[in-house]
Amino acid sequence: MTIHIGAQPGDIAQTVLMPGDPYRAKWAAETFLKDARLVNEVRGMLGFTGTWQGNRVTIQGSGMGMPSLSIYANELIRDYDAQTLIRIGSCGGMQPQVGIRDVIIAMTASTVTSPSSGIFRELNFAPAADWSLLRAAVEAAEKKGAKTHVGGIYSSDVFYAERPDLDKQMMRHGILGVEMEAAELYTLAARHGRRALAVLTVSDHLQTGEALPAEDRERSFGDMVEIALEAAFA
């Protein structure tokens, strides 16, 4: 057990999917895993372990934002020896060709600041996905016929941003979407020699103002979860 994860030794699989919302973790575990059981409920941040096609998988909520994800990813890596960590979550589209319900596979994750920023001081570290996971996710998405985009995303440290000028520069430089966790996950994976990837579903769009109704979000996230699982065990 750790401060934030109440799982016993052996309860956590080496492959962990990390949605931000603990109830999305519950939905994904009940929908995609066999014999899923609750292994963590500390502070309501639910985690479940089961199997997918005979492979052990944990789906653990990470909360919103890089500071929260950093807590769970650090403990999963340090105390439970997680080797593969894949963020599954929603994002806002930032390019005209990116549509609602499309899948974004994040090759890189830019950010203004993260919990790890202080380590690098004057260096602008470039957090990137694990190549083997990235390649496998793209192949899985193509096999499924999911409308998918591969490239850079922006991990914001705030939800209610007040920097339209920064959004404009992100769009100008081809950033596909914005979310709040991947840059720190990629940085921690690099630091500890683990594999990390973010597979995201576009739930709203910064340019068009479109947004998925809350009741439609879970039904639209199935492709993302399946792509992540197939990539993890390719």
192 annotated among ligand-binding-site residues = no
Beta bridge partners of 90: 201
Determine whether the annotation assigns residue 156 to a binding site: no
Which positions are annotated as active-site residues? 204
Is 173 a known ligand-binding residue?
Answer: no
3-state helix, strand, coil in the chain (%, to 5): 35, 30, 35
CA of 205: how far to CAs of 109, 193, 197, in Å? 18, 34, 22
Rounded CA-CA distance 92/211 in Å is: 9
Q: Is 43 labelled a binding residue?
A: yes
Residue 145 marked in a binding site:
no
172 is in an annotated binding site: no
DSSP E strands in 94-225: the ranges are 103-110, 148-155, 177-179, 195-205
Is residue 224 annotated as involved in ligand binding?
A: no
Known binding-site residue numbers for phosphate: 20, 24, 43, 87-90
Known binding-site residue numbers for a purine D-ribonucleoside: 4, 179-181, 203-204
Known binding-site residue numbers: 4, 20, 24, 43, 87-90, 179-181, 203-204
